Structure 1
Amino acid sequence: MSIGTFELPQEIVGAILSGSWTFERAAGFLTAAVPDRPTAQAVLYSLEAMIRETGHWWAETPEQAALYGAGPVAAEQYVSVPVAESVLIGDLGFDMPLALHYRPGEPAPRLMYLPAGAPGWIEVAPTVRPLTDALR
């Protein structure tokens, strides 16, 4: 399964196909791994929602995307995630997306989170493995 030119990691595809790709199963890991508490609206997107939400994300103007951590980031604990290198896979609440960051030259995408109002993204895990392990 792919979104644009990005292949979803097999661990995510397997979780989607098995029905284990749910926020409820990932809640313990995500609550411990991110600095903000997920809201009642937290969700891991279905494949269709990943395609739709990522499409909206990719359509952002550079100015708008910069407001969501896609531009230069001056704060040390945050990183920039360029729109063209990312796929949105869930939301922990309003303006609190989870994304896969497909960095050029890296073998696998890293799992990223954008805190509401933050100047950039935070790495949740260097791969999706900790998230998908929590789904079992």
Structure 2
Amino acid sequence: MTKQLITFEIADKRLGVDIMAIREIRAWTPPTPIPHAPAFVRGIVNLRGTVLPVVDLSDRLGWDAIAPSPRHVIIVIQIGEQMHGLVVDSVNDIVTIEPAALQPPPDLGGGSSRHLSGLIAVDDRMVMVLDLRCMAIDGDALLADAA
């Protein structure tokens, strides 16, 4: 059974998430900072009456933090019962993949692949497919990441 991914860019890196987790893609809106939040949490925005935490995905993955501008977008995803916004440079395509084509991420030590469910080649480029369960922000995850 095929699976569809939304692919997007952060700097020169291409990533993807399961299209079924996407609720919407919206223009950049400066979030309201929250005291004592981890550095990767930019703050919150009001999404039609719902408080939406906004995550700098680049920072969350251990890369350089994004300096957001009006050209950036927020991908609104749902993980379980919670919605989160992921700040990315741009959204690319919807791609259809065969689950068998998804390769496991290499274990490079230090938890380097804990945020990935796999890798797939699309148009001669590697796409890192995110494991959204590792992106969830809850009390336990915040405490673990802040430590």
**TM-score between the two structures when normalised by the length of structure 1:** 0.30
**TM-score between the two structures when normalised by the length of structure 2:** 0.28
Structure number, greater radius of gyration:
2
The structure where strand makes up a greater share of residues is 2
